[in-house]
């Protein structure tokens, strides 16, 4: 190595001296270079032709070899210089050898660089050894070792893998890892895995470690594993705050659990307790990429974030050394949406026709998960016969009872006139829907709508068409029920014949009677349905103002008549007959059959009466309808004339607009023509119905219908429509005005006909009632005389058979009166069922009296005669009151003042209180005991008392002038009374009955107090004095005065005075009658 190094140094020094030092010395002048002559000689060698001249030139310039004058020498030099200027002297020196040598010299340099790059370590080692000839070097290893990871920072508690990567040849068989903990001098050795990739795992490194790798003669440098702590989330607490509009309380989540399921917009508050090294930052990291930093210092860090969508989140903690917490837990976020509310209509139907009030009950049901903020009714005019439809919806806010009630049922009575300022006319169609918004203030309120519903204002003709259809159904139903009642009666008569021909009833007879009961029950249910239909018809007439007040009152009375068809007497008689058949009691069977026959006859009469009344009232209603239709058509023609007026002026509106309006009016006129045809058909229908009625002006009606048909107004209306289209507005308007006058005349004729028909019928009814009253009073007087005669006879007197004949004649006379009353009842709807009941009961009492006298049982006969008198007197009072009502023009009740109304209410309350006490006492007596005959009799008596109070109450509730003043629901009280009556009849008295009776009494008292308060309010109202002139009542005729005296006599005797006082009362009234007769004659 020393020789090589010395030779190399000498070689390099020689080359540097020769190639670098000597040229520099010559260039600087330190060493002499070539002389000018030598240079000229070298140029002459290359260029022989200039050799001598170049030397000559140099010599002349130096002044050598010539003594010529300077100018001459200079001129010679200039000439020689000019000649030599073109000689390329640079070609004298040849550098090709130098260049070639330079190229050759780069080869070892490139080889040296390549060797250094390819064998860096061996080359550098060889270079080092060559340059250090005095040092002693070991033999290089045949392999090299790379130790990983070297000196690094590791997390406390982590595992570190140390690897030794051997490269080369002749690897040692084993590789050792030598390590020691920081601060310790003793090292431990561990065997690494087999080379060339030897490795060893240091587990749970918790202290700083120094280590190196040993293999064969190789020992690596010492490396350091510096241990640093990792931050740790020791405790995680989270709470959830819902959006304020939900009104939900805050919720604390389970400790160390950040899983969240909550509404969008909710806010999660996080509090973390951190351990480990000093913390630089804590961040909530979301799966969506969002990051929310926490704030804090030391070990406590807090923050919050809002839930926006389904996501996940974890807490990333970083120490000041940049170390993160290991594997942070990811918690799921499930974001729930605030569902939109829901709303639907519960009333009315999707398409409804409005009545005259233009009111509709709108009901809805809505729900939401958190509450509501607004509710609106949206509506618009969709179709109109005269006005312009609207393209946009109008909005009417609706109140919400409680915005935080999640499920609500609501409703309003929507008045299109009062609430929205609309003025619906026939043909208008309105669309409407409800829209509700929830209270979501975070992401905006969600809304929901109902389906689109429809309101329509039908024309008067359409209303009447619907009413006619319902009336047809009701009339057909009544006719079918009358036929069914007749069939049941005929079947009973067949059964009655069968039973009378047998000594005992058979199973087939009992089965036939059971079938009759079932059929009668079904019939009564159908009757109740018919009564409900009549009530619905009446309500529809009232709501739509389809009939006059008088006709409406008669239909309301008809409804009362229909309600009175069903009575318990018939079913009770059938029950008694069935019991008698089961007990084989012929006497009771005979009596029960007579009672059934009697009840069947009355039931049939009530059914036929209801049908006849319905037919009579329907004619009245048809006349009302025809008059109203004529009135509406007259108004339509008048309105068309008013709408035509602006079209007559030329130039006031564009031609297109005039043509469009003319077309609309023409279409309206064509609709009027169709309605006029319907009116003509209605007039002919009325004429046909009148032919079925007695005393109806059918000839006048036929003439009116024919005259109307002859006018051919439907064709005139169609011609008028064509005149509108041809824009002959002047002529069209005149025709419209003329048709309006004709229709008004028709309306007046129909009203006069109706009034005349009602007046004639009223006179006939009053005359019939007056005759019936005279007959009843006469029969009552004759019955009283006959009873007095029977009372004087001995029990076995032979004259009893003669009096029996007299009683039979009275009974026959009463039957004739009863038939007359039954005939009258078919045209007097206000005649109640009690008239029929009292007449029938009086006939029965007379028949029993006749039977008793035939058996020579004078005492029993007298008792039945007294019962007959009682019923006759009651019947006379009822007929007299009815006659008074008709004379005073009060078809459905007397002209009762408020004071009288209050007095009757108070009397009823007193009677009800006494009855309640009796029921309570009777219930106490019945505790634990069987019902005795006496108790059963008392129950029947109480039932009769309650029925009397109920009838009085219903009569009172029909006082139309005061019924709106009573705040108590008298109809509801009557229904409760009916329940008590049924329980008393069925002998099912209970505590519930007592409670109901107390409710009845309470409502009667409340109604009475309410009336008193109304009376005081009215009396507090002051009015200025006015001069009032009234006509005195007309003087009573002798017949009317006699009737009045008889009624007063009956009322006096009904008060139950002693016989002596009764005789005095009779004499007093006889005296008054004589005086009246005398004055009348004078």
Bridge-based pairing state of the strands 279-286 and 351-353: unpaired
Q: Are residues 995 and 911 in the same domain?
A: yes
Residues 8-34 as b/e (b if ≥16 CB within 10 A, e otherwise) read: eeeeeeeeeeeeeeeeeeeeeeeeeee
Structural domain contains residue 403: yes
**Total number of domains in the chain:** 8
Which pLDDT score is estimated for 365?
Answer: 93
**Does 249 share its domain with 219?**
no
Cα separation, 325 vs 280, in Å, equals 12
Q: Residue 168's closest CA among 190, 146, 188, 185?
A: 146
The answer on 149 and 109 residing in a single domain is no
- Please count the residues of the chain: 1082
pLDDT digits (tens, 9 = 90+) for 523-560: 888 988 988 888 888 888 887 778 878 788 888 888 88
pLDDT digits (tens, 9 = 90+) for 277-307: 888 899 999 999 999 999 998 889 999 999 9
Across residues 1046-1075, what is the average pLDDT? 49
Is the same domain home to 828 and 709?
Answer: no
Q: CA 414, CA 801: separation in Å to the nearest integer?
A: 75
Q: What's the CATH number where 415 sits?
A: 2.60.40
Please tell me whether residues 911 and 967 are part of one structural domain.
Answer: yes
Q: How many CB atoms lie within 10 A of CB 986?
A: 11
369-371-377 Cα angle (round to 5) = 115
Instruction: Tell me if 561 is assigned to some domain.
Output: no
Q: What is the pLDDT of residue 689?
A: 86
Q: Is 747 inside a domain boundary?
A: yes
User: pLDDT: is 333 or 47 the higher one?
Assistant: 333
Q: Is 246 exposed, middle or buried (0-12, 13-18, 19+ CB in 10 A)?
A: buried
Mean of the per-residue pLDDT values of the chain: 80
Considering the domain boundaries, does residue 342 fall inside one? no
Do 749 and 654 fall into the same domain?
yes
131 falls within a domain: no
**pLDDT for res 21:** 73
The predicted model gives 457-471 an average pLDDT of: 84
Look at residue 543 and tell me if it is in a domain.
no
- For the ranges 255-264, 456-465, 840-849, the lowest mean pLDDT is seen at 456-465
Rounded mean pLDDT of 368-378?
Answer: 93
Instruction: Supply the pLDDT for residue 282.
Output: 93
What's the rounded Cα separation, in Å, for the pair 58 and 173? 86
Q: Do 249 and 296 fall within a single domain?
A: yes
pLDDT of amino acid 343: 95
Least confident residue range of 161-165, 173-177, 337-341, 970-974: 970-974
pLDDT in tens, 401-454: 788 888 999 999 999 988 888 888 888 899 999 999 999 988 889 999 999 999
Same-domain status, 718 and 632: yes
- pLDDT of amino acid 102: 67
Contact status, residue 708 vs residue 683, Cβ threshold 8 Å: yes
Question: Residue 293 pairs with which residues in a beta bridge?
Answer: 283
Average pLDDT of the segment spanning 368-388: 88
Residue 279, domain CATH: 2.60.40.10
Which is higher by pLDDT, 26 or 1082?
26
Residues 751 and 657 in one domain: yes
Note the pLDDT tens digit of each residue in 778-821. 888 888 888 888 888 877 777 888 888 888 999 999 899 888 88
pTM score over 0.85:
no
Domain boundary among 301, 336, 371: 336
- Is 576 inside a domain boundary? no
Q: How confident is the model at residue 53 (pLDDT cuts 50, 70, 90)?
A: low
752 and 857 both lie in a single domain = no
Domain stop point among 966, 985, 1016: 1016
Instruction: Give me the pLDDT at residue 90, please.
Output: 65
Q: For residue 629, is it within any domain?
A: yes
Are residue 791 and residue 853 in the same domain, yes or no?
yes
Share of the chain above pLDDT 70, in %: 82
Sequence-distant contacts of 876-880: CB under 8 A, at least 24 apart: 876/773, 876/776, 876/777, 876/780, 876/1046, 876/1047, 876/1050, 877/1047, 877/1050, 877/1051, 877/1054, 878/832, 878/834, 878/835, 878/838, 879/769, 879/772, 879/773, 879/776, 879/835, 880/773, 880/1043, 880/1047
Range 755-771 average pLDDT: 84
Give the model confidence (pLDDT) of 597-610 as tens digits: 878 887 888 888 88
- Over residues 138-176, the pLDDT tens digits come to 677 788 888 999 998 888 888 899 998 888 888 888 889
Note down the domain range covering 722. Answer: 621-757
Alpha-carbon radius of gyration of the chain: 64
**pLDDT of amino acid 1017:** 47
pLDDT at 83: 65
For residue 1032, pLDDT beyond 70 = no
- Please give the pLDDT value at position 978: 82
Average confidence (pLDDT) over 689-700: 82
- pLDDT tens sequence across 878-922: 888 888 777 765 444 444 556 666 767 777 777 788 888 788 777
- How open is the CA angle 865-867-870, to the nearest 5 degrees? 110
pLDDT at site 1081: 40
Residue 177 shares a structural domain with residue 271: no
In 3-state terms, what secondary structure has residue 295?
Answer: strand
Taking the CB of residue 257, how many other CB atoms lie within 10 A of it? 12
CATH of the domain at 769: 1.20.120
1075 pLDDT more than 60: no
Looking at residue 1, what is its pLDDT? 64
């Amino acid at each position: 190595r020393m020789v090589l190094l010395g030779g190399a140094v000498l070689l390099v020094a020689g080359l540097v001296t020769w190639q670098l030092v000597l040229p520099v010395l010559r260039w600087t002048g330190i060493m002499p270079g070539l002389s000018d002559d030598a240079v000229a000689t070298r140029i002459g060698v290359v260029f022989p032709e200039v050799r001598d001249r170049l030397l000559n030139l140099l010599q002349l310039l130096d002044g050598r070899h010539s003594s010529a004058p300077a100018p001459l020498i200079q001129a010679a030099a200039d000439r020689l210089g000019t000649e030599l200027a073109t000689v390329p002297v640079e070609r004298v020196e040849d550098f090709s050898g130098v260049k070639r040598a330079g190229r050759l010299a780069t080869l070892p340099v490139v080889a040296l660089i390549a060797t250094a790059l390819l064998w860096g370590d061996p080359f550098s080692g060889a270079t080092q050894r060559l340059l250090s000839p005095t040092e002693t070097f070991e033999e290089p290893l045949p392999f090299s070792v790379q130790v990983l990871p070297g000196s690094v920072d590791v997390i406390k508690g982590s595992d570190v893998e140390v690897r030794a990567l051997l490269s080369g040849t002749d690897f040692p068989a084993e590789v050792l890892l030598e390590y020691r903990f920081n601060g310790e001098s003793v090292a431990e050795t561990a065997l690494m895995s087999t080379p060339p990739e030897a490795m060893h795992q240091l587990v749970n490194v918790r202290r700083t470690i120094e280590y190196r790798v040993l293999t064969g003669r190789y020992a690596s440098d010492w490396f350091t594993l510096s241990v640093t702590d990792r931050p740790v989330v020791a405790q995680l607490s989270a709470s959830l705050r819902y959006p304020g509009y939900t009104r939900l309380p805050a919720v604390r989540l389970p400790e160390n659990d950040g899983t969240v399921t909550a509404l969008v917009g909710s806010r999660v508050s996080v509090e973390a307790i951190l351990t480990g090294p000093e913390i630089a930052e804590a961040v909530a990291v979301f799966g969506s990429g969002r990051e929310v930093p926490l704030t804090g210092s030391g070990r406590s860090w807090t923050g919050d974030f809002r839930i926006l969508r389904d996501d996940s989140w974890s807490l990333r903690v970083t120490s000041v050394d940049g170390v993160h917490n290991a594997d942070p837990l990811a918690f799921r976020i499930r974001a729930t949406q605030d569902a939109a509310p829901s709303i639907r209509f519960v009333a009315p139907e999707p398409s409804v026709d409005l009545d005259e009030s233009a009111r509709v009950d709108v009901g809805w049901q809505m729900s939401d998960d958190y509450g509501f903020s607004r509710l609106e009714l949206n509506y618009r005019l969709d179709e109109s016969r005269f006005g312009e439809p609207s393209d946009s919806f109008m909005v009417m806010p609706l109140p919400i009872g409680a915005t935080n009630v999640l499920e609500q049922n609501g409703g309003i009575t929507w008045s299109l006139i009062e609430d929205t300022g609309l003025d619906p006319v026939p043909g208008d169609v309105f669309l409407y829907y409800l829209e509700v918004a929830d209270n979501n203030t975070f992401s905006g309120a969600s809304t929901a709508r109902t389906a689109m519903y429809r309101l329509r204002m039908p024309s008067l003709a359409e209303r009447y068409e619907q009413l006619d259809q319902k009336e047809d159904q009701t009339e057909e139903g009544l006719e079918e029920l009358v036929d069914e009642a007749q069939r049941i009666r005929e079947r009973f008569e067949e059964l009655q014949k069968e039973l009378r021909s047998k000594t005992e009833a058979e199973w087939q007879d009992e089965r036939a009677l059971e079938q009759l009961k079932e059929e009668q029950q079904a019939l009564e249910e159908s009757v109740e349905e018919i009564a409900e239909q009549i009530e619905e018809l009446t309500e529809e007439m009232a709501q739509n103002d389809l009939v006059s007040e008088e006709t409406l009152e008669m239909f309301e009375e008809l409804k009362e008549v229909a309600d009175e068809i069903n009575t318990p007497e018939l079913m009770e008689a059938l029950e008694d007959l069935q019991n008698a058949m089961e007990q084989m009691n012929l006497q009771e069977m005979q009596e029960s059959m007579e009672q059934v026959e009697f009840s069947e006859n009355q039931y049939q009469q009530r059914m036929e009466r209801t049908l006849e009344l319905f037919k009579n009232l329907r004619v009245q209603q048809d006349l009302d309808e025809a008059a109203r239709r004529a009135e509406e058509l007259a108004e339509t023609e008048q309105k068309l004339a008013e709408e035509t007026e602006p079209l007559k002026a030329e130039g006031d509106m564009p031609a297109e607009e005039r043509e469009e309006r003319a077309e609309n009016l023409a279409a309206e006129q064509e609709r009027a023509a169709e309605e006029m045809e319907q009116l003509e058909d209605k007039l002919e229908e009325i004429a046909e119905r009148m032919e079925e009625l007695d005393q109806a002006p059918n000839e006048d009606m036929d003439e009116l219908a024919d005259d109307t048909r002859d006018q051919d107004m439907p064709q005139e209306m169609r011609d008028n429509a064509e005149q509108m289209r041809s824009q002959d507005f002047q002529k069209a308007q005149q025709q419209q005005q003329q048709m309006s006058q004709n229709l008004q005349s028709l309306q007046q004729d129909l009203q006069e006909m109706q009034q005349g028909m009602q007046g004639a019928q009223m006179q006939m009814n009053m005359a019939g009632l007056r005759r019936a009253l005279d007959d009843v009073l006469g029969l009552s007087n004759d019955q009283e005389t006959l009873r007095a005669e029977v009372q004087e006879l001995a029990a076995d007197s032979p004259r009893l058979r003669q009096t029996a004949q007299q009683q039979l004649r009275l009974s026959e006379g009463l039957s004739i009166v009863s038939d007359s009353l039954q005939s009258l009842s078919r045209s007097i709807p206000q005649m109640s069922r009690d008239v029929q009941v009292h007449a029938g009961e009086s006939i029965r009492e007379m028949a029993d009296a006749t039977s008793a006298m035939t058996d020579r049982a004078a005492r029993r006969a007298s008792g039945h005669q007294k019962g007959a008198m009682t019923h006759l007197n009651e019947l006379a009072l009822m007929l007299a009151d009815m006659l008074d009502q008709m004379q005073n023009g009060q078809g459905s009740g007397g002209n009762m003042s408020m004071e009288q109304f209050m007095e009757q209410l108070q009397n009823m309350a007193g009677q009800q209180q006494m009855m309640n006490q009796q029921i309570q006492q009777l219930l106490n007596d019945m505790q634990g005991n069987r019902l005795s005959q006496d108790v059963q009799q008392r129950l029947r008596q109480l039932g009769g008392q309650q029925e009397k109070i109920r009838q009085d109450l219903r009569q009172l509730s029909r006082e139309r002038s005061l019924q709106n003043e009573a705040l108590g629901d008298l109809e509801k009280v009557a229904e409760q009374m009916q329940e008590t009556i049924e329980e008393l009849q069925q002998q099912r008295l209970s505590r519930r009955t007592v409670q109901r009776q107390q409710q009845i009494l309470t409502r009667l008292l409340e109604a009475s107090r309410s009336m008193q308060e109304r009376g005081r309010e009215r009396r507090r109202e002051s009015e200025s004095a006015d001069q009032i002139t009234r006509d005195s009542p007309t003087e009573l005729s002798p017949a009317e005065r006699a009737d009045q005296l008889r009624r007063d006599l009956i009322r006096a005797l009904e008060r139950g005075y002693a016989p002596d006082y009764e005789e005095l009362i009779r004499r007093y009234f006889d005296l008054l009658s004589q005086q009246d007769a005398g004055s009348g004659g004078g």
